[in-house]
Structure 1
Amino acid sequence: MDPKDNFPRRAVYFIFFFCIAAYGFVYFEIFRQTEFKPEVQVVKMQPN
């Protein structure tokens, strides 16, 4: 196999894994904030 053909595939896998990890981290942060602090979110949503 050509080593030149192997590099872009590894880069694509790395970028794909990085996007999944970043999305999972952001989703976990949002879930943690909404799970443990529901009253804070409700107060922020009220117009008064």
Structure 2
Amino acid sequence: MKEMTLVEQDLCRAARKEAEAIKIIVQRRLTVDAFAEGSLINEVA
């Protein structure tokens, strides 16, 4: 495997950070959705 240039390393690091951020946002959104659905179910019951 060839050595990565500094630019390539930076791009990889940025891509990984972005993927991590997206994962966190998606998890948070799922949590909020589940919570909202839970509250709706509680109100109906």
The TM tier, using the shorter chain, reads 0.7 to 0.9
TM-score, structure 2 length as denominator? 0.74
Identity %: 15
TM-score, structure 1 length as denominator? 0.70
Task: Name stretches of at least 5 consecutive residues in structure 1 with no aligned partner.
Answer: 43-48
Task: Name stretches of at least 5 consecutive residues in structure 2 with no aligned partner.
Answer: none
- Which protein has greater RCO, CA pairs closer than 8 Å, 6+ apart? 1
* Paired positions, count: 41
